[in-house]
Chain A
Amino acid sequence: MNQNSEFVIQTTDVSKTYRSGFFGRKSFQALKGVSLNVPRGTIYGLLGPNGAGKTTLIKILLGIVRKSGGSASVLGHVAGSHAARREVGYLPENHRIPRHLTANTALEYYGALSGLSMSEIRKRRQPLLESVGLQGRENDRVSGYSKGMLQRLGLAQSMIHKPQLIVLDEPTDGVDPVGRREIREVLQRLAAEGHSVFLNSHLLQEIELVCDSVAILNHGECLLTGTVKDLKAALTDAAVFLQLRGTEAAIKRAISSLTGIAVRAVAADAFEVEVQIQSQPELDKLIDTLRAEQVSIWQIARREKTLEEVFMNIVGADRQ
């Protein structure tokens, strides 16, 4: 495989079936042919409801779980291989750093596990701890750390060996808003330095704020992939928001030819209307009609959907 590929992660029809019970008679298909390509140097978000298969996909990429079918590569290496894992930093969801360690010894431990020498670790750990905001607490036992501090230490250990790809599973889980902002800044700095980040989070706003691209997983299937911008644009439907002044009868006459309309009175002669209009000529025609009916147009706006709404639309449609 090509290590200089434009994609840091490539999966083709990756599937995973968990088996349980005697002789594996019970089975559960966690992934059903997931294919996705994660471009190098981007922050890539993986979205999906609980049980969608996000963590399974990540574990397959890291060799923690063996895939049942398909192919997957990480940084040009077979997913889960030693070569791949050497270049990947990972922060698992609800990770547990042994309680007898301090931030310093934890970085020593995980750095050595990643193949770093002690001198390299000592050189790197102080700036790293400063970058995640743990300076001054480096010699405290982690048993005394808050959830946010543990997350930041987890993030630090995933970066200690300067990996090309960092895989983060719910990195801001349990972190306060200030901490989240700091983690977002770290991620953006990593991206700016050319690292690739593969991010799995429930917090769609976080994803929207930091990710360049996303993939949406549901019931083990990849429903959609693309850049956040494209997704929002593609899924921003024909909703136009209008604030109108006039009689209700006149407004209703003007929009009677349109479908999917919602009219809401906000004052005696003031109304808010949301209409579904696909094209600009149709919108122009609606404005002309409203004006012809002596209706004043106070405000008109095309409304862009949030990533959450996009996500809910897609997942909702998939459920239906």
Chain B
Amino acid sequence: MRAYFAILKDSYREAAASLVLWLALGGILLLLLALLPIGLLTAANTGLRHQELIDPEKFVKALSDGPSAPQTPEGHIWSLLNAKQQEQFVEFTKAEKESDGRRGQRGGGVRRIVVNTVNELIKKPEFYNAIAFGKIELDEELRSPDAESLAVDVRSHRNLRRLEKAFAGYISVNERTALSLTYAGFDITGPLPILPSQMKQAIDSIITIVLGFFLGIVGVFASLLFTATLIPRTFEPGEISLLLSKPVYRAWLFLTKFLGGCVFTLICATLLVTGIWLLLWVRLEMWRPELLWCIPLYVFLFSIYFSVSALTGAIWRNAVVSLILVILFWLGVTLIGVAHNSMNELIVKARRVSEISANGGEVFAVDGGRTVLRWDQAIGDWVAVPQNAGGDQLPAFLQRLIFSGNRFRVSVSSDGKRILALQPAMTRMGGSGPATILSGNADEQYELQQESQTPESMFGIYQTADGDVLLPGPRGIYRFVGQTDQERKAQTFIKGIFGGLLSSSSAKAFENLTDKGFPAIVAGSSVAFNPADNSFVALNGGELRRVNRTAEGKYVAGETRDLQWKESAILAVGGNIAIIARADGKLLALDATTFELIAESMLPNGEKPRVAECALDGSSAAVLTHQGAVLVFDGVARKFLPWVPRESGYASAMAYNDKLQLMVVDNHRGVRLYNVATQTSSAQLPGSVDLPCQIYDYVVAPLHAVLPKPSDLDNAVQWIVTGEKSVEIKTDSNGGNTEANLEAERLTFNVWNAVASNLAFIAVMLGLGCLYIARSDF
């Protein structure tokens, strides 16, 4: 081994003698020195953050109603607005009525304007008026008038707290402190528009970008330029003859030279990553030793490209040819990666069944393109349900992205004759807004028609066995009583004129089944319907709350239990079983009445849950993860089963039918029905797979699987930095719920798959190199 260590040592010497290395190290040091003075300053919060305005619609509406009540905070604040601002706010309230999905995309801008206006107002000494805020419950400090000489920051902080008290339903200040970015002790940003608790997330993103750019792109290219000559030079006649005359094995010589070539990257990556790690530790007091894993990771990334460089360098013994071939390889794998991802996003996911539901002998599914499908027993395949949604529809890909956080599933009536779905919309203010009910009847081939708009954003739509349509919302449980013929005709007429741009909520179409004082179910809760007793269970931040149905058909708040956790979770209820799947992978089976724990388990490999479902009678329950794994709970044996359906690992949807069978959809459109009690498959619905999907399955995906995926290693960096194996593909524009939305489509970091395929590729390249060298004359 002495000889091979000598080669490694020589590689180190060569790198150390290189001007390129010293230039690279100098650049990294300059970058680290430039970052060194950066620090964070924690101070009292002096401004409203975007996500803290939880209900912009109501807030703007309240302010615009201010003139009618001048001695209130609304009236006082309205009077502080200038004419232009007042006009703008009035315009917002009018425009809000025109909400539809597309307008919602501009909502972030409106929210920004409102927040910025408020932040300007709270700096003013006249913001606080003791008479206007007289009826608001304020503590002694806030109640006493501010001194004229009070610093602006202090005044803003106080006024912000007064504002929050006055508009408790619309504004929720998450944290009393704010962070500012400092450079050499100087505040350079003022209070940042993120919560201190979100700082880690923000810094993680910055680290991922910095490392990705400086090591993943610049570092790899610089290293390739530096090492392009290494192997060809080794195989020049004068050098290789000398080396091969020594008692060394050719293959080992090649492999050691390859490893030696990685020294350059190792040195650069070590300096940059260690520097950033130290900066985070010393300057920001963030202890992140896991960051150091990025060093071997970037060396690994470089070694993928260098393996190509080494092989071509050994064969052609020309640095320029070697470099050109590496760049071509880079372009090639990037193109295949892009083709794979594009087909996956635009074609495969759009056709993949993402939701399934069945009742009364009818099976319905929703694919990734949000097309409702019905299983046609006669032809043995899925048929698309026609949809008369009105207006221009967004492309399937965009719909999936924009409404990723809203499940679009079909509720089937117990006789299978009627289907209902909630079509989400976004408001001009940027939040999730009222949805439109779509309905279809068996008599009309289930063609989906737009019904009324819901009074507010709903958690779901459910049909009871006796035909009631129930919609749980933040302010109560609603019953959809349908439109009158007159209303329907009027809506059809309006649609005809305005192309579906306008739709309105019909107050008569919905009946709130809860009384005044019903505790709100906050946004971000997971709400489940129990068809056994028509009750609801809501889960938010570890608090479980039952909403019971009375004999009169009203809904009242029932038992609550604080489970003492803060993670996001999803919930399903059936019979006497409630199943909870937490973001950290923990599964809990509870008694649906008493909320007592029955059993607990964990999802495999830290996966995150996507769907939880319970059989109607609670005889079993199942959880589907974002990676397609299915875990089953036996409600009779009251334990989680080691048995899993054969589709587990690549299932795309899952639900129970009214015959208590578990329906599991494979990666495309095939459905298998399982009897959980016997753990056997009882029937199959073999949905057909069209040509583009077959091309993807049999050509693109295998090619992508076999070829290396260097770009996927960026995900590994994100995994290392954030500790998350998957992220939502859409950021939360609503901002109210900072916890993960588990039902939203997630981008899964298939880190080990990427590592394995890249490792296999390197092994093949080096194997070919060894073989070539072992069989060549020099």
Nearest A residue to B246, CB-CB: A113
Which residues does chain A contribute within 8 Å of B242, judged by CB atoms? 90, 92, 95-97, 110, 154, 157
A63-71, A207-215, A255-263, A273-281: which lies at the interface: A63-71
- Cα A82 to Cα B247 in complex, Å, equals 5
A101 in contact with B13 (CB, 8 Å): yes
A100 in contact with B17 (CB, 8 Å): yes
A112 in contact with B6 (CB, 8 Å): yes
Q: Is A271 an interface residue (CB 8 A)?
A: no
What 6 A-B pairs come out closest when comparing CB atoms?
A96-B238, A112-B6, A100-B17, A90-B245, A113-B246, A92-B241
Which residues does chain B contribute within 8 Å of A162, judged by CB atoms? none
**Distance in Å from the Cβ of B590 to the closest Cβ of chain A?**
68
Q: Is B552 an interface residue (CB 8 A)?
A: no
A98 in contact with B10 (CB, 8 Å): yes
**Distance in Å from the Cβ of A106 to the closest Cβ of chain B?**
10
Which residues does chain B contribute within 8 Å of A112, judged by CB atoms? 2-3, 5-6, 9
Looking at the complex, which one of A85, A94, A115 makes contact with B245 (CB distance below 8 Å)? A85
Q: Which of A62, A83, A113, A115 has the most CB of B within 10 A?
A: A113
B238 in contact with A115 (CB, 8 Å): no
A92 in contact with B237 (CB, 8 Å): yes
- Cα A66 to Cα B243 in complex, Å, equals 16
A85 in contact with B246 (CB, 8 Å): yes
- Cα A31 to Cα B245 in complex, Å, equals 20
B14 in contact with A64 (CB, 8 Å): no
CB interface residues, A 105-122, toward B, < 8 Å = 105, 108-110, 112-117
- Cα A154 to Cα B6 in complex, Å, equals 18
CB interface residues, B 467-505, toward A, < 8 Å = none
B244 in contact with A62 (CB, 8 Å): yes
Nearest A residue to B243, CB-CB: A113
Per-position contact with B for A131-171: 1 when CB-CB < 8 Å, else 0? 00000000000000000000000100100000000010000
Q: Is B777 an interface residue (CB 8 A)?
A: yes
- Cα A75 to Cα B247 in complex, Å, equals 14
Looking at the complex, which one of A18, A82, A88 makes contact with B777 (CB distance below 8 Å)? A18
Looking at the complex, which one of B233, B248, B777 makes contact with A59 (CB distance below 8 Å)? B777
Q: Is B392 an interface residue (CB 8 A)?
A: no
Q: Which of B236, B242, B244, B248 has the most CB of A within 10 A?
A: B242
B237 in contact with A100 (CB, 8 Å): no
A94 in contact with B238 (CB, 8 Å): yes
Which residues does chain B contribute within 8 Å of A63, judged by CB atoms? 244-245
Which residues does chain B contribute within 8 Å of A100, judged by CB atoms? 13-14, 17-18
Which residues does chain B contribute within 8 Å of A59, judged by CB atoms? 241, 777-778
Which residues does chain B contribute within 8 Å of A94, judged by CB atoms? 237-238
- Cα A88 to Cα B239 in complex, Å, equals 17
- Contact A113:B778 (CB < 8 A) given known A90-B242, A100-B14: no
Nearest A residue to B10, CB-CB: A109
A-B contact pairs, 15 of them (CB 8 A): A62-B244, A64-B240, A64-B241, A64-B777, A64-B778, A90-B242, A92-B242, A94-B238, A95-B239, A96-B242, A100-B18, A112-B6, A113-B247, A114-B246, A114-B247
- Cα A63 to Cα B775 in complex, Å, equals 11
Looking at the complex, which one of A85, A93, A113 makes contact with B6 (CB distance below 8 Å)? A113
A117 in contact with B2 (CB, 8 Å): yes
- Cα A94 to Cα B245 in complex, Å, equals 15
Which residues does chain B contribute within 8 Å of A302, judged by CB atoms? none
Query: Which residues on A are within 8 Å of B, measured CB to CB?
Result: 18, 59, 62-66, 82-83, 85-86, 88, 90, 92-98, 100-101, 105, 108-110, 112-117, 154, 157, 167
B6 in contact with A90 (CB, 8 Å): no
Nearest A residue to B778, CB-CB: A64
- Cα A154 to Cα B242 in complex, Å, equals 9
Per-position contact with A for B751-778: 1 when CB-CB < 8 Å, else 0? 0000000000000000000000000011
**Distance in Å from the Cβ of B261 to the closest Cβ of chain A?**
14
B244 in contact with A64 (CB, 8 Å): yes
- Cα A246 to Cα B236 in complex, Å, equals 66
**Distance in Å from the Cβ of A18 to the closest Cβ of chain B?**
7
- Cα A116 to Cα B778 in complex, Å, equals 25
B10 in contact with A85 (CB, 8 Å): no
**Distance in Å from the Cβ of B7 to the closest Cβ of chain A?**
8
Looking at the complex, which one of B236, B239, B245, B248 makes contact with A62 (CB distance below 8 Å)? B245
- Cα A105 to Cα B237 in complex, Å, equals 21
Nearest A residue to B241, CB-CB: A92
- Cα A1 to Cα B7 in complex, Å, equals 32
Which residues does chain B contribute within 8 Å of A85, judged by CB atoms? 245-247
**Distance in Å from the Cβ of B316 to the closest Cβ of chain A?**
15
Which residues does chain A contribute within 8 Å of B244, judged by CB atoms? 62-64
B238 in contact with A92 (CB, 8 Å): yes
- Cα A59 to Cα B248 in complex, Å, equals 15
Contact residues of B: prevailing secondary structure: helix
A95 in contact with B6 (CB, 8 Å): no
Nearest B residue to A16, CB-CB: B777
Looking at the complex, which one of B5, B18, B236, B246 makes contact with A96 (CB distance below 8 Å)? B236
- Cα A100 to Cα B20 in complex, Å, equals 14
- Cα A41 to Cα B236 in complex, Å, equals 32
Nearest A residue to B245, CB-CB: A90
Extra contacts besides A64-B777, A65-B778, A101-B13 (11): CB < 8 Å: A59-B241, A59-B778, A62-B245, A63-B244, A90-B245, A92-B241, A92-B245, A96-B239, A97-B242, A112-B6, A113-B248
Which residues does chain B contribute within 8 Å of A96, judged by CB atoms? 236, 238-239, 242
**Distance in Å from the Cβ of B100 to the closest Cβ of chain A?**
66
- Cα A98 to Cα B7 in complex, Å, equals 12
Q: Which of A92, A101, A167 has the most CB of B within 10 A?
A: A92
- Cα A97 to Cα B10 in complex, Å, equals 12
Which residues does chain A contribute within 8 Å of B18, judged by CB atoms? 100
Which residues does chain B contribute within 8 Å of A109, judged by CB atoms? 6, 9-10
A66 in contact with B777 (CB, 8 Å): yes
- Cα A108 to Cα B6 in complex, Å, equals 8
- Contact A113:B13 (CB < 8 A) given known A64-B241, A92-B241: no
Which residues does chain B contribute within 8 Å of A64, judged by CB atoms? 240-241, 244-245, 777-778
**Distance in Å from the Cβ of A2 to the closest Cβ of chain B?**
21
Which residues does chain A contribute within 8 Å of B237, judged by CB atoms? 92, 94
- Contact A115:B3 (CB < 8 A) given known A85-B245, A90-B242, A92-B241: yes
Which residues does chain A contribute within 8 Å of B777, judged by CB atoms? 18, 59, 64-66
B241 in contact with A115 (CB, 8 Å): no
Which residues does chain A contribute within 8 Å of B243, judged by CB atoms? 113
**Distance in Å from the Cβ of B231 to the closest Cβ of chain A?**
13
B239 in contact with A98 (CB, 8 Å): yes
Which residues does chain A contribute within 8 Å of B248, judged by CB atoms? 113
Which residues does chain B contribute within 8 Å of A83, judged by CB atoms? 247
Which residues does chain B contribute within 8 Å of A95, judged by CB atoms? 238-239, 241-242
Which residues does chain B contribute within 8 Å of A110, judged by CB atoms? 242, 246
A88 in contact with B5 (CB, 8 Å): no
Which residues does chain B contribute within 8 Å of A90, judged by CB atoms? 241-242, 245
- Contact A113:B241 (CB < 8 A) given known A66-B777, A98-B14, A100-B13: no
**Distance in Å from the Cβ of A236 to the closest Cβ of chain B?**
38
Which residues does chain B contribute within 8 Å of A116, judged by CB atoms? 2
A105 in contact with B13 (CB, 8 Å): yes
Nearest A residue to B3, CB-CB: A113
Q: Which of B3, B18, B237, B777 has the most CB of A within 10 A?
A: B777
Nearest A residue to B777, CB-CB: A65
Nearest B residue to A64, CB-CB: B244
Nearest B residue to A169, CB-CB: B241
A115 in contact with B239 (CB, 8 Å): no
- Cα A65 to Cα B776 in complex, Å, equals 8
- Cα A66 to Cα B239 in complex, Å, equals 18
Which residues does chain B contribute within 8 Å of A66, judged by CB atoms? 777
Which residues does chain B contribute within 8 Å of A154, judged by CB atoms? 242
**Distance in Å from the Cβ of B446 to the closest Cβ of chain A?**
64
CB interface residues, B 51-67, toward A, < 8 Å = none
- Cα A86 to Cα B245 in complex, Å, equals 9
Which residues does chain A contribute within 8 Å of B6, judged by CB atoms? 108-109, 112-113
- Cα A108 to Cα B233 in complex, Å, equals 20
Which residues does chain A contribute within 8 Å of B245, judged by CB atoms? 62-64, 85, 88, 90, 92, 167
